[in-house]
Structures are given as structure tokens and as C-alpha cells.
């Protein structure tokens, strides 16, 4: 079992909290709002069910010939779905167990990462020294800019080694299943369109009853995919717990709805490993005794860990400033222009039915604008938090650079190592960004749509 050093510097904890603090008193309000959203959904669902019954009755009258076959197929599908659900539950139970590493497995995993990282740390340190000696510019050969580019490529490779592959694979699986749900929803829409002109019965062509069966199967597949996603999220909570990130299921869902969720989770995983690597380097430095060359090497590796922290923070802030925020601003501008045009059209319209539809469009646009404002505020707040943490990390890095250059090997090294250890200990207390609960399910849906648009760059 790895030793855990207790926090001794609350000031560092405040500075390095890259993500938001957990919910406290706001939880009650959030739960109440969530319950309100659920109640509203049930009310809407009831109305939709009544409408579905009416439509279903008409469809049944026009497809009695296919009814018996559809019923048999539905029963068969239900039995298969039940078997699939039982199988899935057993797999989920095994999956959660598999993700929970024992202390022995955790130690073996760290040793594997440690051995893979040593070479990259040495390579990064060698490149760092080249940056120091390289000229500001050069027609031939390496200058500081090109040396810095090579250095950052090495840091990117190191981050890939340090990242937790369990969490990365779970994030990817959720993305794949969400894409599958969208495909199934497209299928349902297409089947409904084709069903309109389909014959009631036919020997070759697809009938209305058969299209209805396809729709039912697609809906059942969507239910199964969502069930699988819920299971994956439970497994992800276990994996995050083991790297020191403690979330509820609802907090994880809100986090995954963000376009920057991958960056946040990766920083959490990497900083957790960096904290443990600092412990090992501190011990190696203490054991090096009079061997100044070895001590300088180990402290240089520690400096590379600090370089990695600042590099990840800077990269994240750049993405927010150059990709995410401009994307939200663009969507907001487009929506505001559309909103102004809609209001002009509504003002000029006299037909009551068309006026009603324009008003519905205005409502949808209002929800989009509310979601963009919420998204923009969240991203800016998160950028400010990371910036404050980066300022502290840069100060630690500046001190480490100075100490490395002057090669003062003494008890000062251990003091600095201990201070860094406390910093990393604080960093792994990362929580999700400030969880601002969605006002209702409509806003949540718009929020997720914005994430999809930002992620695709549209």
C-alpha cells in the first residue's frame, strides 16, 4: 500500500484545485430541481402516451393481418431482452470487480508506469538542457523554438504513458454507445417516414406492420444501449475513486456532458501518478547521499514532472480560449440573429397557427441562449481556476529550475521535494468543475447538443 502524506499547506490546496469543490448545501436544491425535472418529464410522458395510444389504435386497425406475427415477435424479443439484461448485470458485476485494483495490483501497475516513464523523463531532461544552450534563432540547426517543440512532443508522449488506460477506454466506450443511439434514432425516424407509404400487406415489400416492428426493435436497442452506458458510468466511478476523484453518479453525468470532460479527467489521472512518482524520486534523492550526479539526475526528473503539470494546464487553458469559448460565442451569435429574425416574422404574421409555431421557435432559441450563457460562464470559471493553479505551479517550477541549474545538493532538496509532494497531494483532490444544476431537462439537452457541436467543430 502506498503511503499517503497528509496535507500540511491549506494555501496550496486552494491554489491547485483545478476543478470545482463538491456540492454541499447546494445538493438539496439540485436534488429538488432534478425531482422537478423528473415530474415534468413524467407529465409530458403521460401526454405522449395518450397520443401514442390513439395513434396505435388506428395503426392496429389498419394492420390486423400483421398483428399476430408482430405479437409473437415482440414476445420473443422481450424474452431475449430479459436474457440480455441478466447477462449484462452479471457482466457489470464482474466489470466493477475487475476495475477495482488490489493494493498489490495497484503497486504492480505503478511499477509498470514508472519503468515506462523513466526513459521519457531522461529524454525530456536531455531536451530541456538543449533548450537552455540553444541559440534564440538559427538558420541551420536547432534553435530555442524548435528545441521547445521537440520538448513538448516528449511531454505529450509522457502524458500518454501516465494516463489511466481504464478510464480512457471507458470514456471511448460511452462515446461509441452514444453514437450508436444516435444511429438508432435516425433509423426510427426513417422507418416512420417509410411506413407512411408502405402497404398494409405485401409478399415482397416491407409492410406497415414490419416497419412498426423495426421501430420497436430499434427502441429496445436504444434502451439496452442506455442500460449499458449506465453500467459503464458505474465502472468509471470506481476507476475515478481509485485515482482520488470522488464523484456521485449525477456529478459524473454533468461532467461527461462537458466538451472539456476528457481534458479534466486526464489531468486528474496524470496528476495522481505524478504525486506518487514524486515520492519515489524524493526517496532516490535521499538515498543518493554524496553522489551528486545521481541526485542531480533525480531532481532533474522531478523538474520534468513539474514541467508536465504546467504544460497540461497551459494546453487546457489554450483550448478553452481558442476553441471552446469562440465556439460558444459563435453559436450564441447565430442564435441571437435567428431570434431577431424570428421576432420580425412573428410580428408580421397574422395566422394564429403560424404565430404559435413562431412562438415555439422563440422558446427553443431562448433555451439555447440560456444554455450557451451557462456553458460560457462554466468554461470561463474553470479557466480562471486552472490559471490560479498554474500560477502556483509555475512558481514551483521556477524554483525547481533554479535549484537544478545551481546543482545545490543538500537537505534543501528533500525540503523542496516534500513541498512538491504536498502540492501533488492537493492536486489529486480534483473534483468536477462547479456543478451548476440544469434548470430542467430541456436545458440539459441543449447543453449536451452544444457539447456535440463544439466537439465536432461545426
Express each pLDDT in 339-397 by its tens digit: 999 999 999 999 999 999 999 999 999 999 999 999 899 899 989 988 988 998 899 89
Q: Which of 129, 144, 162 is the last residue of a domain?
A: 162
Q: Tell me the angle at which helices 261-287 and 103-133 cross, rounded to the nearest 10 degrees.
A: 80
Give the pLDDT of residue 337: 96
| Residue 433: inside a domain | yes
432 shares its domain with 341:
yes
Residues 158 and 297 in one domain: no
Query: Nine-digit cell at 166?
Result: 481504464
User: Is the pLDDT reported for residue 37 higher than 60?
Assistant: no
Residues 313 and 442 in one domain: yes
Q: Determine, yes or no, domain membership for 222.
A: no
Residue 252 included in any domain: no
Rounded mean pLDDT, 284-301:
80
CA distance 37 to 357: 24
Residues 357 and 455 in one domain: yes
Q: What is the DSSP letter of 6?
A: P
pLDDT category of residue 426 using cuts at 50, 70 and 90: low
Query: Are residue 370 and residue 436 in the same domain, yes or no?
Result: yes
Q: 240-244, 270-274, 432-436 — which is least confidently predicted? A: 432-436
Residue 335 is assigned to a structural domain of this protein: yes
Domains in the chain, number: 3
DSSP H/E element including 458: none
Cell numbers at 424, concatenated: 501533488
- pLDDT of 65 higher than 80: no
Q: Which bin fits 101, alpha (ψ -120 to 50), beta or left (φ > 0)?
A: beta
Asked whether residue 332 is assigned to any structural domain, the reply reads: yes
Residue 135 in any domain: the answer is yes
Do 25 and 155 share a domain, yes or no?
no
Say if residue 124 is in the same domain as residue 55: no
The residue ranking higher by pLDDT, 285 or 384, is 384
- 49 and 111 together in one domain: no
Residues 357, 301 share a domain: yes
Provide the residue range defining the domain that includes 53: 21-62
CB–CB of 238/99 below 8 Å?
yes
What does 38-93 look like in DSSP terms, one character per residue?
A: HHHHHHHHHHHHHHHHHHHHHHHHHTHHHHHHHHHHHHHHHHHHHHHHHHHHHHHH
pLDDT value for 358: 95
- All three cell numbers of 218: 430499434
Amino acid 457: pLDDT = 66
pLDDT confidence tier of residue 7, bands split at 50, 70 and 90 = very low
Boundary-marking domain end, from 162, 178, 209: 162
Residue 359 CB contacts under 8 Å (≥ 6 apart), including other chains = 346
Mark whether 298 and 157 lie in a shared domain: no
The pLDDT value given to residue 120: 93
- CA-CA distance, 448 to 458, in Å (whole number)? 14
The candidate with the shortest Cα–Cα distance to 231, out of 174, 270, 285, 182, is 174
- Which of 246, 224, 395, 394 lies closest to 317 in space, CA to CA? 394
N residues, the chain: 458
Q: Can you tell me the distance from the alpha carbon of 128 to that of 119, in angstroms, rounded to the nearest whole number?
A: 14
Tell me the C-alpha to C-alpha distance, in Å, between residue 373 and each of 42, 331, 336, 367, 380. 27, 11, 12, 10, 11
Residue at 129 is within a domain? yes
- Is residue 276 domain-resident? no
Amino acid at each position: 500500500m502506498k503511503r499517503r502524506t497528509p496535507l500540511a499547506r491549506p494555501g496550496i490546496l486552494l491554489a491547485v484545485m483545478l476543478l470545482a469543490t463538491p456540492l454541499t448545501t447546494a445538493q438539496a436544491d439540485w436534488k429538488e430541481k432534478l425531482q422537478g425535472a423528473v415530474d415534468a418529464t413524467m407529465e409530458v410522458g403521460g401526454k405522449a402516451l395518450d397520443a401514442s395510444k390513439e395513434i396505435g389504435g388506428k395503426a392496429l386497425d389498419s394492420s390486423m393481418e400483421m398483428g399476430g406475427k408482430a405479437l409473437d415477435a415482440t414476445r420473443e424479443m422481450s424474452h431475449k431482452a430479459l436474457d440480455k439484461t441478466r447477462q449484462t448485470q452479471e457482466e457489470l458485476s464482474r466489470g466493477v470487480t475487475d476495475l477495482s485494483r488490489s493494493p498489490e495490483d495497484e503497486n504492480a501497475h505503478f511499477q509498470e508506469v514508472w519503468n515506462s516513464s523513466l526513459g521519457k523523463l531522461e529524454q525530456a531532461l536531455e531536451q530541456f538542457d538543449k533548450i537552455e544552450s540553444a541559440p534564440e534563432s538559427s538558420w541551420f540547426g536547432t534553435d530555442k523554438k524548435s528545441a521547445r517543440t521537440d520538448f513538448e512532443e516528449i511531454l505529450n508522449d509522457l502524458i500518454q504513458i501516465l494516463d489511466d488506460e481504464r478510464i480512457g477506454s471507458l470514456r471511448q466506450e460511452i462515446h461509441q454507445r452514444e453514437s450508436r443511439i444516435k444511429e438508432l434514432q435516425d433509423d426510427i425516424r426513417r422507418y416512420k417516414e417509410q411506413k407512411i407509404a408502405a402497404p398494409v400487406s405485401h409478399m415482397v415489400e416491407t409492410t406497415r406492420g414490419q416497419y412498426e416492428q423495426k421501430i420497436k426493435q430499434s427502441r429496445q436497442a436504444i434502451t439496452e444501449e442506455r442500460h449499458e452506458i449506465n453500467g459503464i458510468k458505474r465502472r468509471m466511478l470506481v476507476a475515478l475513486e481509485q485515482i482520488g476523484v470522488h464523484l456521485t453518479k449525477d456529478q459524473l453525468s454533468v461532467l461527461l456532458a462537458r466538451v472539456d470532460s476528457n481534458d479534466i479527467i486526464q489531468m486528474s489521472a496524470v496528476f495522481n501518478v505524478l504525486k506518487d512518482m514524486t515520492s519515489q524520486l524524493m526517496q532516490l534523492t535521499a538515498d543518493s547521499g554524496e553522489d551528486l550526479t545521481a541526485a542531480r539526475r533525480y531532481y532533474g526528473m522531478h523538474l520534468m514532472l513539474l514541467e508536465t503539470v504546467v504544460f497540461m494546464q497551459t494546453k487546457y487553458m489554450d483550448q478553452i480560449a481558442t476553441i471552446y469559448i469562440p465556439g460558444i460565442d459563435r453559436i450564441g451569435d447565430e442564435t441571437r440573429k435567428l431570434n431577431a429574425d424570428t421576432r420580425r416574422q412573428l410580428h408580421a404574421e397574422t395566422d394564429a397557427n403560424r404565430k404559435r409555431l413562431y412562438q415555439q421557435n422563440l422558446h427553443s432559441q431562448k433555451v439555447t441562449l440560456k444554455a450557451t450563457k451557462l456553458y460560457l460562464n462554466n468554461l470561463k470559471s474553470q479557466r480562471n481556476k486552472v490559471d490560479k493553479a498554474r500560477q502556483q505551479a509555475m512558481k514551483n517550477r521556477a524554483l525547481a529550475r533554479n535549484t537544478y541549474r545551481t546543482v545545490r545538493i543538500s537537505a534543501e532538496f528533500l525540503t523542496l521535494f516534500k513541498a512538491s509532494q504536498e502540492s501533488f497531494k492537493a492536486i489529486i483532490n480534483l473534483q468536477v468543475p462547479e456543478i451548476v444544476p440544469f434548470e430542467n431537462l430541456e436545458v440539459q439537452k441543449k447543453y449536451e447538443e452544444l457539447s456535440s457541436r463544439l466537439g465536432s467543430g461545426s
